[in-house]
Chain A
Amino acid sequence: MKKTLAILLATSSLLATTAAAQSLDLEKEDLTLGFIKLTDMAPLAVAYELRYFEDEGLFVTLEAQANWKVLLDGVISGELDGAHMLAGQPLAATIGYGTEAHIITPFSMGLNGNAITVSNEIWDEMKPNVPLMEDGRPQHPISASALAPVVENHLDRGEPFNMGMVFPVSNHNYEIRYWLAAGGLEPGFYSEQDISGQIGADVLLSVTPPPQMPSTMEAGTIFGYAVGEPWNQQAVFKGIGVPVITDYDMWKNNPEKVFGITAEFAEDYPNTTIALTKALIRATIWLDENDNANREEAVQMLARPEYVGADAEVIANSMTGFFEFEKGDVRPAPDFNVFFRYNATYPFYSDAIWYLTQMRRWGQIAETMSDEWYFETAADVYRPDIYLEAARLLVGEGLANEADFPWDSDGFKAATPAEDIIDAIPYDGRAPNAYIDSLPIGLKSGQTVIDGEIQG
């Protein structure tokens, strides 16, 4: 009995290997990929668990990293072959902000997936400023203008108002800054001398690794934070905080994490890079197919201790299309985590340019740059050519639909209309400088921060 089972297993896996055509001659087959404990690392877990990596002839070890800095250093030093990254990381590394290294991305890992949470005490102070719906629940999206009087009270009492984000060039840093600024609060500037990002700030933002956010807030070090899932829902389950806004409510279908590798890796191992991209695209297709039908299974994978490890019910909330604000206030959020639909995985230049405009807005890019500089930097880091080659192979093998990919895109998404963004300021990646100048708070063309003052 056991023997026949083994033979059956062997033949079925034989069939599986022959079914996935291994057309590529791989230069490197054993890879170590890094990730941070967040639900948006799902494509990596799925590609491993469903053996999409093995189908491509890749043998991957997935390693959780302590924080974003360690992860970036791992990729630069070659200890990691690639990693789940903040979109700002490859861009900042390539332009030399922080550690300098040429990192590229052939693959975006999804849309949305973050939220901003405040502690229970802050929420109690904030809640009277929030308009209510007919059923008595708060009306979403909640503007940071509801937080402004709370911050003012703190500052009047001489207490600094601290909040957390995950990394200086993280999506979360730009998102919480966007939200605060849209509500009239100053999140502070960076300058070449002062990289704390707190010049002229009403709200002091500091770095905390994602999984430590809830415990740091519980300890009272920060009053709130911007982070990816499941660390906002975790605060609700632990009864220590209330998410006030999701990033979807700030900017519908905003670009999120990317998959980052060094430029040398892509150059030395071109076929391996394509094979990796193929496996990841398959994983994202699986995550979104049939109206998120596989999400429950994905939640079970992510709940395992070697991946995210939080309780399945906490992870399930955002992954299966719901989001819980105050305890019991569960609202549908079908697009909270988008992995494949809306061309989520295509590395659009316009996504890169948005991150660059935010770096410029807050002074991480010290000087005004030409529009061409934005286009060239984006093209240096985002590599749709690799993505499309992987997609073409998948379509050829019958593993993906031709209609699902933007074959003729010039890399720019249609401009985001005003109604999709919380402060109603439209974004068009083709005109970065004009966009920067249209934002009321932040550096404008010609301005720099010198000695803690905005000049120009």
Chain B
Amino acid sequence: MTAIDPTILDAEARRARRFVRINKADAWFCVFGLSWLTPILRAAAGDNPRAQAGEVWRLLGVPILSIAVFVTMWATLAPTVQTSLGAVPGPVQVWEQVGELRQDSIREGEREAAFYERQDARNADAIANGNTNAVRDRIYTGKPTYYDQIWTSIKTVFFGFLIASIIAIPLGIAAGLSVTANAALNPLIQIFKPVSPLAWLPIVTMIVSAVYTTNDGWFEKSFLVSAITVTLCSLWPTLINTALGVSSIDKDLVSVSRVLKMNTYTKITKLVLPSALPLIFTGLRLSLGVGWMVLIAAEMLAQNPGLGKFVWDEFQNGSSQSLARIMVAVFTIGIIGFLLDRVMYALQSMFTFSNSR
């Protein structure tokens, strides 16, 4: 009889398989900011717990501790600053406003349901009276809730970002491939890149009002104004990074394309895009971040629907809860900005195989 027990062998193999799986999952945990899960899983799978504890401390403990220190400092320092609207709200008051905003949207939801009930009753009444012309289906006229505002902002930023990408990527490829195109685009990039959204906004507002005159088109005017302002401010990082990515393709590859007598289209799709993709994605990530920042400023100034308007309305209201509500919005903006970045990062990981992230 041999000394090796087959069950042990089997367990060893399973253990190895588990680790492979954990390592594979780790790549995704990194993408979603959950990298602290890996050491915990490893420890659970039987790795040396002490080494893993160190990892957990670094990946989970330190961030939590830093947040705790921040919240404590906030809670102790905030009440010492007196504004004309009372003390600066601490974490507790801000958390209360999160609940208030939730209650608000629930109440609004009830009002909305009641509105539709009244409408149904009216329509039923009209049908019963044989007056089918009077049957109407209208959309509720109440105020947008906090969640509606968040949703509006997200839609707007993606729309603006999409237009920016559609403009910036082809221009960037042109600038990267051709020295002449680069010389033509460069001065424009240099001049327009530093312009603040607050300077674009009046121009965009005037032009959209002049050009987009229908009242029942696909888009609201205010939506277009915000989105185009986002476009104008956020297309530069994508443009610059695309140009850079395209121009730094391996010279050997370019030679190969010459030998194979590739036409421009094939060259771009088979050669330029794949090798420039990592930098293009870096540009897109930067663009989306810029776009999100710009959007809030544009909404505040132009009173266009979204989180920016929420902040400005609360500033105008000047009630004793306004500061806390604005802080809720600040955290919302920050967290959504973070999530947007993660989404782009995940996309980047899916489409590119390079290490240069």
Contacts and interface: CB of A to CB of B under 8 A. Distances in A.
Interface of A: 6, 9-11, 13-14, 17-18, 29-30, 37, 54, 59-62, 64-66, 70, 77-79, 211-212, 214-215, 218, 234, 238-240, 303, 305-306, 308-311, 314
Contact of B209 (A9, A61, A77): A77
Nearest to A212: B316
Nearest to A305: B317
B318 A17 contact: no
A305 B313 contact: yes
Given A29-B136, A65-B303, A238-B85, A303 B117 contact: no
A17 B317 contact: no
B120 interface: yes
Contact of B318 (A11, A13, A29, A211): A211
Contacts of B325: 305
B84 A59 contact: no
A10 B123 CA distance: 11
B319 A13 contact: no
A77 B209 CA distance: 9
Nearest to B319: A311
A215 B136 CA distance: 45
B117 A9 contact: yes
Given A238-B84, A305-B313, A13 B117 contact: yes
Most A CB within 10 A of own CB, among B118, B221, B312, B322: B118
Most B CB within 10 A of own CB, among A18, A64, A77: A64
A17 B129 CA distance: 14
B66 interface: no
15 contacts: A10-B121, A13-B118, A14-B122, A18-B125, A29-B136, A30-B141, A66-B312, A70-B303, A79-B215, A214-B318, A238-B318, A303-B319, A305-B319, A309-B318, A310-B317
Nearest to B300: A66
Contacts of A18: 125
B319 A310 contact: yes
B313 A59 contact: no
A59 B141 CA distance: 7
Interface of B: 84-85, 104, 114, 117-118, 120-122, 125, 136, 138, 141, 143, 209, 215, 221, 303, 312-314, 316-320, 322, 325
Contacts of A70: 303
A15 B356 CA distance: 69
Given A11-B121, A13-B114, A14-B122, 12 more contacts: A10-B121, A17-B125, A37-B316, A66-B303, A77-B209, A234-B318, A238-B318, A240-B84, A305-B319, A306-B143, A309-B313, A309-B316
Nearest to A209: B316
Contacts of B143: 62, 306
A11 B121 CA distance: 8
Nearest to B122: A17
Contacts of A30: 138, 141
Contacts of B303: 65-66, 70
Given A79-B221, A309-B313, A310-B318, A239 B84 contact: yes
Contacts of A308: 317
A218 B318 contact: no
A227 B117 CA distance: 41
B265 to A, nearest CB: 45
Nearest to B316: A211
Contacts of A59: 138, 141
The 8 A-B residue pairs with the shortest CB-CB distance in the complex, in nearest-first order: A309-B317, A238-B84, A211-B316, A306-B143, A13-B118, A61-B141, A311-B319, A66-B303
A263 B138 CA distance: 27
Given A78-B215, A310-B317, A6 B117 contact: yes
B53 to A, nearest CB: 48
B141 A60 contact: yes
Nearest to B145: A306
A10 B325 CA distance: 36
A60 B310 CA distance: 21
A446 to B, nearest CB: 41
Given A9-B117, A54-B118, A61-B141, A311 B84 contact: no
Most B CB within 10 A of own CB, among A13, A14, A30, A314: A13
Contacts of B314: 305, 309
Most A CB within 10 A of own CB, among B122, B125, B318, B322: B318
Nearest to B84: A238
Contacts of B141: 30, 59-61
A87 B320 CA distance: 31
Given A10-B120, A13-B117, A14-B121, A37 B221 contact: no
Contacts of A309: 313-314, 316-319, 322
B84 A218 contact: yes
A11 B117 CA distance: 10
A14 B126 CA distance: 11
B121 A17 contact: yes
Contacts of A64: 313, 316
Nearest to A16: B118
Nearest to A30: B138
Nearest to B146: A305
B313 A17 contact: no
Given A30-B138, A66-B303, A311 B122 contact: no
